């Protein structure tokens, strides 16, 4: 697979330029609502409990709780052991559109034997997961064993069955933008060759710093764009970790629009773009409430993040 060299200075300059766009009030409200609809509302803590996941699901279905007109989020993201709890709760809502994403494959390290990771994936899907967020073997990738990483992605696609796969690169451990581009190209190629439907690439687990950054996300978006222009295949994108404010989310949407949205409007939908976040949704709700009432709600007014 040919490698693409990234100009770090230009990537950082281009990414910074997206933060300087002027957004009018009407467009801002539309952007906030779009961002909310793209959120994978996430809880990935050792202390996660069934009741916390049930509360997360209720918030995912009705984020504004009658106070703010806000669409449902795209998905809830939980550990595989709590998928069944989320499935039972979301099935209570007629016409529910919120998906269940599970972080399988030995999340967050990805250091488990491949058989264990694949079984983790199968069990999550059997429990009701619609999407699987897998982590690549970063050690293998950095050691140059790209074939192993490629094959593991393909095997995970097979284990997913009907569920969609998001491939987490853990960009904070990849060290350079050249590596980010190479890992993006490798993951996209594996998704394409496996015949995966609805596949994504994703920046981070949220457990490593730095997580999502705009230069890293831009490099990944450009890899998706180049693949689309060469093949016509759509691959999704999910920046995750560190995106906490509505202002940041709007910057990412501007970058998405100018990199992929101008190529194909499908990229500007929750089907193909997600924010992996926990704290972001509340700030989006506060900003929407401010546009509607002219005053800010307290951070706790919309419940726990």
Is 99 a residue of the active site? Answer: no
Q: How far apart are CA 114 and CA 292, in angstroms?
A: 50
Q: How far apart are CA 250 and CA 165, in angstroms?
A: 25
Q: Name the burial class of residue 29, with classes exposed (0-12), middle (13-18) and buried (19+) by CB atoms within 10 angstroms of its CB.
A: middle
Is 295 a residue of the active site? Answer: no
Question: 166, 202, 283, 289: which is the annotated catalytic residue?
Answer: 202
Q: How far is CA 36 from CA 64, 66, 200, 287, in A?
A: 10, 15, 19, 11
Question: 133, 185, 283, 289: which is the annotated catalytic residue?
Answer: 133
Which pair of tokens denotes residue 37? 């609809």
Is 47 a residue of the active site? Answer: no
Question: 59, 130, 238, 283: which is the annotated catalytic residue?
Answer: 238
Q: Which residues contact 166 (CB under 8 A, 6 or more apart)?
A: 101, 131, 132, 133, 134, 199, 200, 201, 202, 236, 238, 274
One-character DSSP codes across 12-68? HHHHHHGGG----HHHHHHHHHHHHHTEEEE---TT--HHHHHHHHHHHH-TTTTTS
Q: How far apart are CA 102 and CA 119, in angstroms?
A: 13
Active site residues: 133, 202, 238
């Amino acid at each position: 697979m040919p490698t693409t060299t990234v100009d770090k200075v230009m990537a950082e300059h281009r990414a910074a330029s997206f933060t300087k766009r002027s957004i009018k009030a009407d467009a801002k409200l539309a952007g906030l609502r779009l961002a909310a609809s793209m959120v994978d509302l996430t809880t990935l803590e050792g202390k996660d409990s069934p009741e916390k996941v049930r509360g997360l699901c209720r918030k995912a279905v009705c984020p504004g709780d009658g106070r703010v007109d806000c669409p449902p989020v795209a998905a809830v993201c939980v550990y595989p052991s709590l998928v069944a709890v989320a499935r039972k709760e979301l099935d209570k809502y007629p016409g529910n559109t919120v998906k269940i994403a599970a972080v399988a494959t030995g999340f967050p390290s990805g250091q488990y034997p491949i058989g264990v990771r694949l079984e983790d994936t199968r069990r999550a899907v059997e429990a009701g997961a619609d999407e699987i967020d897998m982590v690549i073997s970063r050690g293998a990738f950095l050691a140059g064993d790209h074939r192993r990483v490629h094959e593991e992605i393909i095997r995970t696609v097979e284990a997913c069955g009907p569920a969609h796969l998001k491939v987490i690169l853990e960009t904070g451990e990849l060290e350079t933008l050249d590596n980010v581009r190479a890992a993006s190209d490798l993951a996209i190629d594996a998704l394409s060759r496996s015949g995966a439907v609805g596949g994504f690439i994703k920046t981070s687990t949220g457990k490593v710093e730095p997580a999502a950054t705009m230069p890293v996300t831009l490099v990944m978006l450009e890899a998706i764009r180049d693949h689309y222009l060469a093949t016509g295949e759509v691959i999704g994108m999910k920046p995750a970790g560190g995106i906490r404010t509505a202002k940041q989310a709007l910057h990412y949407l501007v970058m998405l629009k100018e990199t992929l949205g101008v190529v194909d409007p499908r990229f500007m939908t929750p089907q193909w773009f997600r924010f992996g976040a926990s704290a972001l949704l509340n700030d989006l709700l506060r900003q929407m409430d401010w546009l509607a009432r002219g005053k800010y709600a307290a951070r706790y007014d919309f419940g726990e993040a």
